[in-house]
Structure formats: structure tokens, C-alpha cells
Structure 1
Amino acid sequence: MTKLKLNELMKSMDWTMFGIIASIFLIWQIGTVGNWSTECWILLCICLLGVRKDQIDVDWKRFFLIGIPLLGVFYYFYGSGNGFWWKIANWMFENNRHPWRWDSYMNAIPLNSGGWARWISTPFLDRAMVWVYNYGFVLSLWICIVRSFWTRSVKKMLSYALSGHMLQFPLILPFYNLILLHEVWYVNKQPDLLHRVFADENSLLVAVMNCFPSMHTSISFAMLLLALREKDRIFKYMMVMYCGAIIFSTLYLQIHWVIDVIAGMLFAYGTVKLTDFLIRIGASHVVPAKFKRFYSKRAAPASSELTM
């Protein structure tokens, strides 16, 4: 009798609503850990306005069983990834494994310093570009992952995540281990427009190396390439403007060289294509047929389903 009542109770619960609440809480935690400003949340909300145009026909409850744990995994690596990255950067600095040193070569190329990007500069634009740059490394990725979550597409979530930090981090390390290139302002003995505070000289040197290719550029450009595949025009236009601003900020703030930016775009294009290949192979040969049948079951009628 008790078991029967328990089954009835479980069936009577609105698991879709529980999934929505859990998802919102997890996304809020992501923003909290990232110390998102009000502007970050506004940008995310604007990008979500037309999400229904890209939603796929999958039952919410079935999606939440996969989507929420997957989002949680991304959140875990996001929280631990920054410390891991700086450990690698410090290791490379201490071991000094840079057979190629490009500061003088890059500085000798006309217009390569990107100083032309500051032909029009104002205090307001300075503050705006600092905000764009400081958040751009992760916010561009999280906006796309969160939005793909609300489209109920595990494939899109994986596509954005793999094209972003998950593949770019390991693939870019050989460049950073072989090539020593410092930030533009440091090479040209200019003020740091990001106004960073460094504990000592070693901390400064670790922070200003590893420029080629520009990973701010590669992350944002990869997100832009994938965003252009979506149907919603609001999202596409916002990502064009935001990701374009991230790339421009690297030049405006005298962080990256023009060649770094071009290399970052090419690197991003290659990463997106590699991700497409891996997902295609995984969907064909790795994902079990039972999982495909479970996940691809169509959503319930609109009257009983929550739409975003």
C-alpha cells in the first residue's frame, strides 16, 4: 500500500517545473561564480528572447535528465579550470620552454600593434572595452551554452562547449609552450589599460605572455561561427556585435597583435570543424541506440508542456 501511494505521489509531481527551478538555480550559480555584472545578465536575457525559434521537439523531462547533469559538469570544470590554467602557465614560465621568441619580429611589422584601433578613444570607450575584455573570455561561451540548454539540444551544448575551452585549451598549449610573445603594451612599454595589479615581477611576466594565437579571439569567434547557424536573428545579431567587440577590445586595449587575432580566428575555425567531426562520429558510432530512442521521443502536447 505504501509503495502504491509513493508511486502515485511521484506521478503527481510536476517534474518539469522541478527541472526548470533546478536549471535556473544552476545558471544563477554559474553567474555567481563568474561574478557576473548586471550587464552580463541583461545580455544573456536578450540572447534568450527568441530561443523558441531554435528549440527542438524533445520532452522537457527527458531532456532535463541529460541536460542538467551535463550543465553541472560544465559548471564544475568552469569552477576548477581557471586555477588549472594558471598552474600550466606558471609551469611554462618556470621551465622557460620557448624556442621561438617573437616580440621584436611582431613589433617590426607595420600596423601589427593594433594602435590604429585607438585612433578614436574616450574614457567611456575605455571602460566599455575593459568590461568586454574582462568578461569576454567566458561570458561569450556561457551565453551560448545556456541558450543551447533552453533549446533542449544536447548536441548544441556539446558543440559550443567543445568548440570553446574544452578543445581549445589542450590544442593551444603547444603554441604557448613553443612561442614566447608578450602583450603589445608590455613590449612597447605603455601603461596597462586593463589596470591589472601584479603581486611581483614574475606574476606580471606570466600574465603578459602566451599571446599567439589570441584565445580571447578564438573563443569568441568560435561562438560567433556556431551562433550564425541558429535561426533566431536577435541572438545572431547580438553575438555578432558582442563577439566582434571582444575581438576589437584585444586590439583597442593593446593586448594582442593583429597577427594574433588573425591566427585566433583561423584556430577557432579549425576547432569548430574538428568539433563537427567528433560529434558526427560520436553520434554515429559511440552513442547507444537506446539512448537515441530515449532522447528523441517527441514532446508532449503544448498544453501540458512548458515553453520558453
Structure 2
Amino acid sequence: MREKARMWLASNDWTMYGIIVSIFLVWRIGVVGNWSTACWVLLMICLLGVRKDQTDVDWKRFFIFGLPLLGVFYYFYGSGNGLWWKIANWMFENNRHPWTWDSMMNSIPFNDGAWTRIIARPRLDNWMVWVYNYGFVLSLWVCIVRSFWTKSVKKMMSYALSGHLLQFPLILPFYNLILLREVWWVKGQPDLLGRQFATENDLLVNVMNCFPSMHTSISFAMLLLALREKDRIFKYMMVAYCSAIIFSTLYLQIHWVLDVIAGMAFAYLIVKLADLLIGVATRLLPQRFKGFYSKKKDNAYATDTMAA
């Protein structure tokens, strides 16, 4: 019985099965995020040079760890948005903001970012809306999906930790202590995102958490990590895309200049913290686990190949 099971396992192309499941998961991530065609095009461009950053790990061994990890990220992506808004509503209803910065931020010259709209055009407005609306999660997912295809669990964790996993819990104290609303709301201007709010409460919950800018911190963290990769196509695309996200927060009159600067500083510290945690975890992993993951090919496979 055991021999039959072993023969059955050996007769199946598990690498192909893993690739099919991987493609399905990536497709589901896009469906949950309601990705537009432009989102998929961005991902495809970023995957063009993925071989330059691939690790020399057997696909079957990588799938044992990489697929469950991607599945966990996908699960929390689907359920995380509701949790975030529950927390935001809780903070608003309990009103735990000892500091209100609306007037102070508005009094600082050039801090409203209005100077970015010198180049305003209707077509640019539409493009900036797309960049901003997808930028909060797309910049992270492009990096995680690409790191999956580099066969690197370490990179997947680096991007995930530097993104929402660490940033969400560590940014909440700022949002709980500081009440700072979006530029357009403070200045009494139209919302350039064209959002529709069912109630006044929904409006206030959406515009109250500005410092630091999390659109900026997520995208800047991804930019910093992307610069570590070898593939120039990916690096250039992420620098351009993440910079556009940061610029859109000012152009659309969402965040103040100081929000953006604080977001970049916050992102830098989070990336360093993620590096530290991954370094500690790597040292604590049993050598047996490291050896299994990094082993290139099964001995039997290598023997069969030589015999052929």
C-alpha cells in the first residue's frame, strides 16, 4: 500500500499542479480587489524580468511553503478591509483624539500641496484617481506576487511585514491620538475622488485619519524594497508607480505635505523593523528546516537524470 502511494505521488506532475493553483490564487486576489485591466498590465510588466531575482530552489519544495503563505495573505486580504473600517468607526465613536491638527496644518505655507495642481488637467485628474484608489493595496500585491514567482518565502514575508502586517497595528496609535482631516475637507473644496457618503458619519470616518499618510507609507516601503531587486524593469516600474501614488495624495488634495514626509519616515522605520524580525526568525529556524527548503533536487531525481 505504501509502495503504491509512493508510486502514485511520483507519477504526478506536482510542479504543474502548484503552478495552476498559484495562477488561480493570483486571479482570485485580482477579483477580490476588483482589479482593472491596467492593474493586470502593471503586474505583467513587473513580472517580465522575474527570472533575474529567482532563487535556486526546487519549485515543489517552494510550493510546500509558498502556496499556503500566499493563501493566508489572500484570506486576510478578503477579510481585512471590514476589520479596518470597524476599527476606524470605533475610534470615531469613542473620540479618543487629544490633539486636533486641522488649523495648525492649514496655517503652514505650501503644506496643503495645492502647488501640485499647477499642472492639473482632466485626463491627469482621472489617472491620479486610478493611481490613488488602487495604490493602497496594488503596490503591495504586485510585490508579493512577484516575490512568490522568485521562489522566495523570505521576500514574501519582507514585503508583507513592511506593508500592512506591521503598518496597520503600528499606525493606529497615531490615528487614535491625532485628529487630522483631509485637505479638501478642511479647506471646504470638492472631493476630487468623487466619493459618495451615505451619512455624515461615513464622511467623517473617511476623512479623519491623515497623519501619517498610509498611502505614502505603504508605497514608499514597497519602493525601498523594490530597489533591492536585480531586475531593472521591476525597479523602474515600482519607483514610477509608487512615486505616482505619493504624488496623487497631494495632487488630489487628500494629504498634507507633512503627512507625506511623516509617511515616508514611518515606512523607512517599518522596513528596518521587518528586516530585524526576519533576521531574528531566520537565525531561530532549525537547520533541518533550512536544509529541506534550500535543497535543490531530490537525490532520486538527480540519479534518474544522470542515468538518462
State TM-score, norm by structure 2. 0.96
Partner of 2:213: 214
Match of 1:294 among 286, 292, 300: 292
- Paired with 1:14 and 1:121, the residues of 2 have a C-alpha distance of 54
- Paired with 1:163 and 1:75, the residues of 2 have a C-alpha distance of 17
Question: Does structure 1 residue 58 correspond to structure 2 residue 57?
Answer: yes
- Paired with 1:91 and 1:204, the residues of 2 have a C-alpha distance of 14
Secondary structure at the residue paired with 2:119? coil
Partner of 1:74: 73
Secondary structure at the residue paired with 2:45? helix
Q: Is the 8 A contact 1:141 1:223 kept in 2?
A: yes
Q: In the TM superposition, what is the alpha-carbon distance from 1:10 to its structure 2 partner? A: 1.7
1:1-20 matches, cutoff 5 A: 3-20=2-19
- Uncovered stretches (5+) of structure 2, i.e. residues with no partner: none
Query: What code does the residue aligned with 1:288 have?
Result: P
Residue by residue, what CA displacement relative to the aligned partner does 1:104-161 show, whole Å, maximum 9, x if unpaired? 0000000000000100111110000000000000000000000000000000000000
- Paired with 2:5 and 2:137, the residues of 1 have a C-alpha distance of 43
Partner of 1:145: 144
Question: Does structure 1 residue 279 correspond to structure 2 residue 278?
Answer: yes
Name the % identity.
Answer: 76
Query: What code does the residue aligned with 1:146 have?
Result: V
Query: What code does the residue aligned with 1:289 have?
Result: Q
Q: In the TM superposition, what is the alpha-carbon distance from 1:3 to its structure 2 partner? A: 4.7
Query: What code does the residue aligned with 1:293 have?
Result: G
- Paired with 1:289 and 1:215, the residues of 2 have a C-alpha distance of 37
Partner of 1:241: 240
- Paired with 2:64 and 2:123, the residues of 1 have a C-alpha distance of 45
Partner of 2:133: 134
- Paired with 1:5 and 1:197, the residues of 2 have a C-alpha distance of 61
Q: Is the 8 A contact 1:57 1:299 kept in 2?
A: no
Query: What code does the residue aligned with 2:266 have?
Result: F
- Uncovered stretches (5+) of structure 1, i.e. residues with no partner: none
- Paired with 2:247 and 2:200, the residues of 1 have a C-alpha distance of 28
Q: Is the 8 A contact 1:176 1:210 kept in 2?
A: yes
Query: What code does the residue aligned with 1:34 have?
Result: G
Query: What code does the residue aligned with 1:56 have?
Result: T
Q: In the TM superposition, what is the alpha-carbon distance from 1:299 to its structure 2 partner? A: 4.7
State TM-score, norm by structure 1. 0.96
Partner of 1:43: 42
Q: Is the 8 A contact 1:212 1:260 kept in 2?
A: yes
- Paired with 1:203 and 1:298, the residues of 2 have a C-alpha distance of 53
Q: In the TM superposition, what is the alpha-carbon distance from 1:4 to its structure 2 partner? A: 3.4
- Paired with 1:62 and 1:203, the residues of 2 have a C-alpha distance of 47
Partner of 2:94: 95
Q: Aligned-residue CA RMSD in angstroms?
A: 1.5
Q: In the TM superposition, what is the alpha-carbon distance from 1:289 to its structure 2 partner? A: 1.8
Secondary structure at the residue paired with 1:110? coil
The alpha-carbon distance between structure 1 residues 62 and 226, as it changes in their structure 2 partners (threshold 3 A), is same
Secondary structure at the residue paired with 1:69? helix
- Paired with 1:213 and 1:243, the residues of 2 have a C-alpha distance of 16
Secondary structure at the residue paired with 1:98? coil
Question: Does structure 1 residue 159 correspond to structure 2 residue 171?
Answer: no
Q: In the TM superposition, what is the alpha-carbon distance from 1:9 to its structure 2 partner? A: 2.2
Query: What code does the residue aligned with 1:214 have?
Result: S
Q: In the TM superposition, what is the alpha-carbon distance from 1:252 to its structure 2 partner? A: 0.4
How many residues align? The count is 302
Q: Is the 8 A contact 1:60 1:299 kept in 2?
A: no
Partner of 2:251: 252
Q: In the TM superposition, what is the alpha-carbon distance from 1:32 to its structure 2 partner? A: 0.3
- Paired with 2:294 and 2:88, the residues of 1 have a C-alpha distance of 42
Partner of 1:24: 23
Residue by residue, what CA displacement relative to the aligned partner does 1:140-189 show, whole Å, maximum 9, x if unpaired? 00000000000000000000000000000000000000000000000000
- Paired with 1:74 and 1:9, the residues of 2 have a C-alpha distance of 31
- Paired with 1:161 and 1:41, the residues of 2 have a C-alpha distance of 20
Question: Does structure 1 residue 228 correspond to structure 2 residue 227?
Answer: yes
